[in-house]
Chains A and B, each alone.
Chain A
């Protein structure tokens, strides 16, 4: 009965590799997000999708490509991983449209370590 789930929980990989993180929510929410939390715990939004449509695309390298096959899933693919990509990536969802001021529900996070 997990609300927002992410896989994998930990990801250790070499520089230059390509990896994907998956996210699923069973809350029936319309909007999903990807956040990056750095080593100083600063949380920064990367992307947001509303009903499979990209609505927020922050200034992130184009090596990061989100995909939303349906409104319950939002995946993140990262090409050519770099050391600076090491962080915790959180998926989140919220009840309605991207511009509504609703609380966000976060997944457990994926700790990515690039060696």
Chain B
């Protein structure tokens, strides 16, 4: 079945450093979604990318969807302690199921 792989699993950064997490699917995706889960919290939708090569920005966050629609990335510029949490990518398969990557847990040292 479809697999969504995400790396790295963990990332520890100093406040102010940049952070990137990468997502790869075994099959072409119709779209890619990104969620953030704060420690002890629940996943919260951040953004959805639909078009090949699409790039979207939300303040310090930049999201990209690959040309082949099989990979995506989330880049955070100048991390802050409020960025702490686990970032998940997710894509719908043909059966209508949202398949999540394993997540990247980001910790930020002040």
A43 near B100 with CB under 8 A, answer: yes
> Does any Cβ of A come within 8 Å of B102's Cβ?
yes
A101 near B92 with CB under 8 A, answer: yes
B103 near A56 with CB under 8 A, answer: no
Q: How far is the CA of A108 from the CA of B100 in the complex (A)?
A: 18
Say whether, besides A41-B86, A43-B88, A99 and B96 are in contact (CB < 8 Å): yes
- What secondary structure prevails in chain A residues at the interface with B? loop
Residues of A within 8 A of B50 (CB): 101
Tell me, rounded to whole Å, the shortest Cβ–Cβ distance linking B102 to chain A.
6
Say whether, besides A43-B88, A45-B97, A106 and B43 are in contact (CB < 8 Å): yes
Say whether, besides A40-B102, A41-B103, A45-B98, A103 and B33 are in contact (CB < 8 Å): yes
> Does any Cβ of A come within 8 Å of B42's Cβ?
yes
> Does any Cβ of A come within 8 Å of B20's Cβ?
no
Residues of B within 8 A of A40 (CB): 102
Chain A, residue nearest B47 (CB): A103
> Does any Cβ of B come within 8 Å of A109's Cβ?
yes
**Chain B residues near A (Cβ < 8 Å):** 30-31, 33, 37, 41-45, 48, 50, 86, 88, 92, 95-98, 100, 102-103, 105
